[in-house]
Amino acid sequence: MAELKAIDFFCSIGGMTYGFRKAGIDVIAGLDIDTSCKETYEYNNPGSKFIEANIKEYSFEQLKKDTRIKEYDDMMIFIGCSPCQYWSIIKTDKTKSNLSKNLLNDFQRFVEHFKPGYVVVENVPGIMKRSDESGLDKFIPFLERLGYAVIYDILNANHFGVPQNRRRFTLIASRINSDISLPEGNKNKIPVVKDFIGVKKGFSKIKAGHFDKTKFKHSAAGLTENNLKRIKLTKKNGGTRERWSRIKDLQIDAYDGKDSSFRNVYGRMSWNKPAPTITTRFNSLSNGRFGHPNENRALSIREGATLQTFPKSYVFKEKSLGRIAKHIGNAVPPRFAKCLAKELLKVGNYGV
């Protein structure tokens, strides 16, 4: 029986690629403009080629040359998980991400030319809420005009074995099977923080500023004197900044009188709850509820990767911890990706 294979557009360090490979799908190549992802991607996904390219300038002929794929391949999956910062609900400066906001249109060109058997798209829910701007309102009818059956919804990765509340727009389309479906998650048995990190899970106690020289990368960002005071005062296992909000030297000017707003900022995670969405700044105490449940620091690099369901054996080759955190936060959780891949295998009855 022929086997499914895939091209992972906007592959980053390979979260989607890794999950698909674990499900038994041959990911021929991943394509990304960020060259800093290459070594990590290829080291952890041997046999999957990293193609450094700007999709806006990359040609169909070059993709065929680089991968030897062909048009109208019923066993081919095109995966399009474009950078999502512009469509995120997180209030950050969108100037830098403005250039990448319409990458779905560029992905569409490749789908139109090659017409693979299957298409998978994963992104933040904002791409659906602002579909006229993101191009989604044109992308779905485009697929249907080409004869694809299309199904999509907002799924929470927490229902698929990922220990964080991570709501994602998820689309599966097929040109050869009309009876398609999204995977069904389990809302009754959700993983939580203590299931993945902590001393019992192999994470030694460390202090803020600890640098792990090993491949494990259990490294934590340093804290200013005031931030160290803040985290020490923050109640363990789910506490907020409320405890120090009345201390003049520690209160943040932007939150003065707004204790009921932005409660996650400077907060600690709870052992018995899912983590918040792991973002590109998960190793920073001031960027969300990224305080360790009981240690006086923010999450380490490896803890963030583990909450994203990267295996502990996944090696991050980039030297910059900030860049590694960005890569991890941008990634599709491999466990969620594996669930999507297994659904494709089931839909096509490919050995499942």
Cβ atoms < 10 Å from Cβ of 301: 22
Phi, psi of 151 (to 5 degrees): -140, 140
Tell me, what's the pLDDT at 86?
Answer: 47
Mean pLDDT of 176-189: 94
Residue 156 pLDDT greater than 60, yes or no: yes
Tens-place pLDDT, residues 300-351: 999 999 999 999 999 999 999 999 999 999 999 999 999 999 999 998 777 6
Residue 98 pLDDT greater than 50, yes or no: no
Tell me, what's the pLDDT at 351?
Answer: 62
Contact 20, 91 (CB under 8 A): no
Considering the domain 5-189+332-347, what is its CATH architecture? 3-Layer(aba) Sandwich (3.40)
Pick from 293, 299, 296, 297: nearest CA to 236: 293
Sign of dihedral through CA atoms 101, 39, 18, 158? negative
Pick from 332, 351, 308: nearest CA to 26: 351
Contact 233, 249 (CB under 8 A): no
Residue owning tokens 């792990």:
212
Mean pLDDT of 15-34: 98
Residue 20 pLDDT greater than 50, yes or no: yes
84 is catalytic: yes
242 vs 303, more confident = 303
97 — pLDDT class (breaks 50, 70, 90): very low
269: which 2 tokens? Answer: 């995670």
Residue owning tokens 């923050």:
234
> Could you give the CA distance from residue 112 to residue 115 in angstroms, rounded to a whole number?
5
> Could you give the CA distance from residue 316 to residue 185 in angstroms, rounded to a whole number?
29
130 — pLDDT class (breaks 50, 70, 90): low
For Cα atoms 231, 236, 242, give the angle at the middle one, nearest 5 degrees.
Answer: 60
Contact 18, 309 (CB under 8 A): no
> Could you give the CA distance from residue 66 to residue 60 in angstroms, rounded to a whole number?
10
90 — pLDDT class (breaks 50, 70, 90): very low
Tell me, what's the pLDDT at 292?
Answer: 98
57 — pLDDT class (breaks 50, 70, 90): very high
Tens-place pLDDT, residues 65-84: 999 999 999 999 999 998 85
Mean per-residue pLDDT over the chain, rounded: 91
Percentage of the chain exceeding pLDDT 70: 91
245 — pLDDT class (breaks 50, 70, 90): confident
Mean pLDDT of 149-169: 97
Pick from 319, 283, 99, 310: nearest CA to 208: 283
Tell me, what's the pLDDT at 84?
Answer: 54
Catalytically annotated residue among 11, 37, 81, 84:
84
* CATH superfamily label, 197-308: DNA Methylase, subunit A, domain 2 (3.90.120.10)
Tell me, what's the pLDDT at 89?
Answer: 45
95 to 125, 244, 329: CA distances (angstroms): 20, 34, 19
Residue 139 pLDDT greater than 90, yes or no: yes
Domain residue spans of the chain: 5-189+332-347, 197-308
Residue 161 pLDDT greater than 50, yes or no: yes
Tens-place pLDDT, residues 248-268: 889 887 777 666 666 788 999
Mean pLDDT of 281-302: 97
Pick from 245, 282, 242, 241: nearest CA to 265: 241
278 — pLDDT class (breaks 50, 70, 90): very high
